[in-house]
Amino acid sequence: MSNDPNLNLPPVIDDRKPRPKRKKQGELSGKQRRELRALGHHLKVVIQVGQQGVTDPVIDALDDALETHELVKAQIADEREARATAAKTLAQATSSVIAQEMGKTVLFFRKREKKSKFESL
């Protein structure tokens, strides 16, 4: 690749589908959080937020994972304050709630409107 400014490159095409608008997941009671933490204990980390932080592809991946699994474990590699901010940003962007924050690991929950595994919550 050359650094020639006269080089005509094609425009970057963003072919991602827009995220659908979802209603905000209601806050969880202590009992509901406890149940979700117990269920999430054995889950493997599905989403990893790296050095670049919260990006659109990370939000899309978490949104897809929440649509599929409803309860998703994510790992955020950042400083303590930045981790908390990133977790809140992800929860807001995906209309989910944080069921647990423990170190670098965060447990997100968003109940599906149809055919939910968590009807009791």
45 found inside a domain: yes
> What was the pLDDT predicted at 112?
84
**This prediction's pTM:** 0.79
Sign (positive or negative) of CA dihedral 54, 52, 78, 74: positive
| CA 96 distance to own-chain centroid | 8
Q: Is residue 52 part of a domain?
A: yes
Q: How many domains does the chain have?
A: 1
In-domain check, residue 61? yes
Is the residue at 116 inside a domain? no
In a domain, 10, yes or no: no
Asked whether 103 and 87 are in contact (CB, 8 A), the reply is no
Residues 76, 77, 80, CA angle at the centre, nearest 5°? 85
pLDDT at 4: 56
Give residue 19's pLDDT: 65
pLDDT value at residue 26: 76
Determine the 3-state secondary structure of 121 from DSSP: coil
Which residue segment(s) compose the domain that 87 sits in? 30-109
More confident residue, 107 or 121: 107
Structural domain contains residue 21: no
CATH number for the domain spanning 93: value is 3.30.110.60
- pLDDT tens-digit map of 28-87: 889 999 999 999 999 999 999 988 889 999 999 999 999 999 999 999 998 888 999 999
pLDDT of residue 34: 93
* 11 contacts: CB under 8 Å, gap ≥ 6: none
Task: Look at residue 72 in the predicted model and tell me its pLDDT.
Answer: 95
Q: Are 66 and 108 in contact (CB under 8 A)?
A: yes
Q: Which carries the bigger pLDDT value, residue 120 or residue 76?
A: 76
72 lies in some domain: yes
**pLDDT tens-place string over residues 80-107:** 889 999 999 999 999 999 999 999 999 9
* 119 domain residue, yes or no: no
Give the separation between CA 86 and CA 81, rounded to whole angstroms.
Answer: 9
